[in-house]
């Protein structure tokens, strides 16, 4: 069986300051530009708020928390309405 993987390089344009930043990271960590960029993108993907959404469900059903949260929200909404409505 013969498997041929064709990887193609692409040219992208970045500003000089972005290039210098990537170059410093690349040299410091001894990685390729592709690895540096991919690592950054993967870190950014993890910050989607999914963890926050999971944490918000922890106090769900806690009546004291619900009442306090709703009261604070109502006060903020009333304050906003008086100012902008």
Q: Is 32 found in the same domain as 9?
A: yes
Q: Is 76 found in the same domain as 42?
A: no
Q: Is 3 found in the same domain as 43?
A: yes
Q: Is 3 found in the same domain as 38?
A: yes
CA separation, residue 27 to residues 8, 35, 73, 74 (Å):
23, 12, 49, 53
As for how many domains the chain has, the answer is 2
Give the structural domain span for 62.
54-85
Q: List pLDDT tens digits, range 15-71.
A: 999 999 999 999 998 999 889 888 888 876 565 555 565 566 555 566 666 777 778
In this structure, the number of other CB atoms found within 10 A of the CB of residue 36 comes to 19
Q: Is 34 found in the same domain as 68?
A: no
- Confidence (pTM): 0.43
Q: Is 42 found in the same domain as 58?
A: no
Cα 69 to Cα 75: distance, rounded to the nearest angstrom: 10
**Cβ–Cβ < 8 Å for 25, 31:** yes
């Amino acid at each position: 069986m013969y498997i041929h993987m064709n990887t193609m390089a692409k040219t992208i344009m970045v500003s000089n300051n972005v290039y210098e930043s990537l170059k410093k990271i690349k040299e410091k960590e001894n990685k390729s530009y592709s690895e540096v960029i991919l690592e950054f993108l993967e870190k950014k993907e993890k910050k989607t708020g999914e963890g926050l959404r999971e944490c918000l469900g922890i106090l769900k059903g806690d009546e004291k928390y619900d009442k306090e949260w709703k009261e604070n929200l109502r006060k903020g909404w009333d304050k906003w309405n008086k100012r902008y409505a």
